[in-house]
Chains A and B, each alone.
Chain A
């Protein structure tokens, strides 16, 4: 008798333990060392003892089944391995952040300006002291055309405080309209007004930065709420589907001890999971165009500059430096020393900006207390 996991169930082996990921339901199942060894054998079509409890349990969970003859079960996949050969294919550039200004009259304690370490600072508004002049409006407009031609799908427009350049923001919003699948506008709660809501309503999804955890949800608007203490609040956890909790890190060692492991498992659904086998879960497919024209892998990674588009086309970043871009895009968790032996590596969240900030290394890892070698 043989036992095989269903095509939609991926078995990932860690140093000590393994896990099964159901890519349709998005569920993860952890295995003991003994169970891991058994599943590794059966996934290689070795005959099994059908009295083993684990197999019956997996069948009960609809994750696999018994076969009387050794079957061949190709796994569920997205696209075709043949078509993955990158012969003259365009870059898979799907998400862009554009910082269309860098001024703000506020001095929020959690702003990037002060170097605050935040779990999801990229989605909030920030101002920076990178130097350099703002790109002019005309250049932002041509950049929007360039992003469309590169088939970028999600556009995040951010600042600074966008209300200080509201006419410019609206012109760019109008110009970008219909060119992207999703447009997000990132604002501070204190900048909100009925006029702004009306101006933006049909053109973009609003992401509102706030620090008041008691702010009630407003329609479809996403509230990006910063809390001052991480461990009590789970990273990325949602109180409501439109309320996201961001947290700051004052003491990384304290946080690392208390960070709940499973809260880091973000998505075991097929598209993100299979994507994470080839791309970094966050940096993959993403670039940021800073206010001064610098192009960086992420809004929070300011010191890795891939180029500047003030006087050159955006596509030259890929044309001349795809290897450099891939250094970030292809930084799968397989390549991080601590994660490479972890069975959760394709379903786990990871913020390189924050980890680099905490460890001083682009491939460092501090924000995880799970030890894959111990399986604990």
Chain B
């Protein structure tokens, strides 16, 4: 049980075995501690031991309740006897639940040199920029393989009717002709599927013609915009060091003006970011609504934060506290939640904390801990046609390629290898509420042990839980709409 306390004084605990929260007042902790002793005491013995500090009626209540609580039978993996995933199990799982999205990395080239880019020198285990472009032959083979897998998987999952195809880079619009060819090819050859297309772009090449074509094909367009000009241009610059804000905004205005809704801003922040200015900026009607708000990553051997001082960090944390208070107050005053930068920063986090973890599972899970994807859930194809679990893990860990297809043996080996490195999870009190994944632990040639990375994870999670519960205590109506508790 991982305990935490809210500002109101209420105490709770996260029961990681069950994936559930439970109220956990001091008396319950005392009773639980007695019940964990080597010789299991009777109720009378527990009452006798605790009667000096607590009322008999309450001790009796918590003794009975804890006994009852322990009757819940989850179907978790026993991490001490981890059942290794076989290639056939991996295949069955992926045909049922995987191949959700094909992502084509159409180029490694980019006309920006964003300071925090995952392909910058800050990231030891990630590739660098290059002039490599994906050929149509590679893209076509990848597309054929993806739809062939979808065809094979119909008998396992007949409801996968809306596959997604994404275009990623570098800056994918540098290879716009390839994107057009791919979409034309898919629409000609695979019209049976209702394909959802998406592209992640820096926006600088999104001219009228390209924008018109993307809108015509109902692309979900993610544009990287960090905030107002001075915030954006601090990190998002051209190779010559000039800011990019004006060019990006000039391109997206016409898209907004025609009322196209399937465009979102993807914002990244760091310890120097003025988050209040960012929040205000994304409330503007002439800017795409905020879709993602992400801190600069420190995984992948990231040393980005080494440039900042302790004071930078402290100042940032102060701004975060002030922003959270502001967000809570505005929620109270407005009486409703709106999609905003702060909503993503705080509100979404609260929902994920409260409802994200898998609660009591009626069936065994293929992944016993962390939230990692199974390689093949997404299919990220690099410019050379190698398959990767996602865009965030080193290229040294492919699970297949265009010649051999999905290598299920490698997938199962990757999984078993990964869980072998999760040496901290055995004794971790939040392994089922954990957001970590392959990308968190991946190094150049393999994984780093979780004991090296997750040192303060329980304390961090307890803080997140407390924050989420404080919000929920104050605003139950904003939380319970998801839970629909009272019918």
Q: Which residues of A does B touch, CB under 8 Å?
A: 4, 6-8, 10-13, 24-25, 40, 43-45, 59, 62, 65, 67-83, 86, 88-91, 146, 149-151, 270-271, 313-316, 318-319, 322
A341 to chain B minimum Cβ distance, whole angstroms, is: 11
- When distances are taken between beta carbons in the complex, the residues of chain A under 8 Å from B20 are 7, 74, 76-77
B356 touching A90 by the CB < 8 A rule?
no
Name the contact of B155 in the complex, choosing from A75, A80, A89, A149 (C-beta under 8 A). Answer: A149
Q: Are B155 and A150 neighbours in the complex by a CB distance under 8 Å? A: yes
For B12, B61, B155, B161, which residue has the most chain A Cβ atoms within 10 angstroms?
B155
A79 touches B358 (CB 8 A): yes
Name which of A6, A12, A40, A90 has the most chain B CB atoms within 10 A of its CB: A90
**Is the Cβ of B158 less than 8 Å from the Cβ of A318?**
yes
Q: Which residue of A lies closest to B485 (CB)?
A: A75
Q: Which 9 A-B pairs have the closest CB atoms?
A: A90-B157, A72-B472, A319-B158, A315-B158, A318-B158, A69-B8, A88-B160, A77-B359, A72-B473
Q: Are A71 and B482 in contact (CB under 8 A)?
A: no
The distance from the CB of A345 to the nearest CB of chain B, in whole angstroms, is: 9
Chain A, Cβ-Cβ closest to B71? A24
Give every chain A residue within 8 A of B241 (Cβ-Cβ): none
In the complex, A104→B61 CA distance in Å?
A: 59
Judging by beta carbons under 8 Å apart, are A74 and B21 in contact?
A: yes
Known pairs A82-B355, A319-B154, A319-B159; A72 contacts B97 (CB<8 A): no
- Asked whether any CB of chain A lies closer than 8 Å to the CB of B354, the reply is yes
Does B156 lie within 8 Å of A90, measured CB to CB?
yes
Cross-interface CB contact of A78 among B21, B351, B356, B359, cutoff 8 Å = B359
Known: A82-B355, A149-B156. 10 other contacts (CB 8 A): A11-B486, A45-B476, A59-B61, A70-B8, A72-B469, A77-B20, A88-B160, A89-B157, A270-B360, A319-B159
Q: How far is the CB of A40 from chain B (nearest CB, A)?
A: 7
Q: Among the listed A70, A75, A77, A151, which residue makes an inter-chain contact with B473, where contact means beta carbons less than 8 Å apart? A: A70
9 A–B pairs (Cβ distance < 8 Å), ordered by A: A69-B8, A70-B473, A78-B360, A80-B358, A86-B159, A91-B159, A313-B154, A322-B158, A322-B159
Beyond A43-B486, A79-B361, whether A270 also contacts B72 by CB under 8 A is: yes
Task: For A62, list chain B residues within 8 Å (CB).
Answer: 61, 64-65, 68
Among B12, B64, B159, B359, the residue within 8 A (CB) of A80 is B359
Inside 8 A of B469's CB, which chain A residues have their CB? 72
B158 touches A316 (CB 8 A): yes
**Bound CA span A78–B363, Å:** 10
B294 within 8 A of A: no
Cβ of B71: which chain A residues have Cβ within 8 Å of it? 24-25
**What residues of chain B lie closer than 8 Å to A71, measured between beta carbons?**
10, 12, 23, 473
B487→A12 contact, CB < 8 A: yes
* A7 and B8 contact, CB distance less than 8 A: no
Question: Cα distance A80–B18 when bound, in Å?
Answer: 12
Query: With contacts A6-B65, A81-B355 known, is A44 near B486, CB below 8 A?
Result: yes
Instruction: Select one of B61, B159, B163 contacting A89, CB under 8 A.
Output: B159
Which residues of the partner chain A approach B159 to less than 8 Å between Cβ atoms? 86, 88-91, 318-319, 322
- Contact A13–B154 (Cβ < 8 Å): no
A181: nearest residue on chain B (CB-CB)?
B363
B479 at interface by CB-CB < 8 Å: yes
- How far is A77 from B21 in the complex, measured between Cα atoms in Å? 10
A315 surroundings in chain B (CB, below 8 A): 154-155, 158
Cα distance, A86 to B12, chains bound together (Å): 31
- For the complex, is B100 an interface residue (Cβ under 8 Å from A)? yes
The answer to whether B446 has its CB under 8 Å from any CB of chain A is no
Contact across chains for A7 and B158 when beta carbons are under 8 A apart: no
- Inter-subunit contact B155/A67 (CB<8 Å): no
B8 nearest in chain A by CB position = A69
Q: Of A40, A80, A86, A150, which is within 8 A of B357 by CB? A: A80
Select one of B357, B473, B486 contacting A13, CB under 8 A.
B486
Whole-angstrom CA separation of A68 from B351 in the bound complex: 25
Q: Taking the complex as formed, is B392 at the interface, i.e. its CB lies under 8 A from any CB of chain A?
A: no
Cβ 8 A contact of A24, one of B69, B354, B362: B69
Bound CA span A146–B487, Å: 38
In the assembled complex, the Cα of A309 lies from the Cα of B174 at a distance in Å of: 49
CB neighbours of B453 from chain A (8 A): none
Within 8 Å CB of A6, what residues of B?
65
Interface 0/1 of B65-76, CB less than 8 Å to A: 100110110000
Q: Are A8 and B68 in contact (CB under 8 A)?
A: yes
CB neighbours of B163 from chain A (8 A): 88
| Contact digits for B36-70, partner A, Cβ 8 Å, 1 yes 0 no | 00000000000000000000000001001100110
B354 touches A78 (CB 8 A): no
* Docked pose: A24 CA to B361 CA in angstroms: 14
Residues of B within 8 A of A88 (CB): 100, 157, 159-163
- CB A116 to nearest CB in B, in angstroms, measures 35
A59 to B469: give the CA distance in the assembly, Å.
24
A315's nearest neighbour on chain B, judged by CB, is B158
CA distance A146 to B156 in the complex (A): 8
Chain A residues with CB below 8 A from B64, complex form: 62
Within 8 A of A (CB), among B1-37: 8-10, 12, 20-23
B-side contacts of A79, CB under 8 Å: 358-362
CB distance from A170 to the nearest CB of B (A): 26
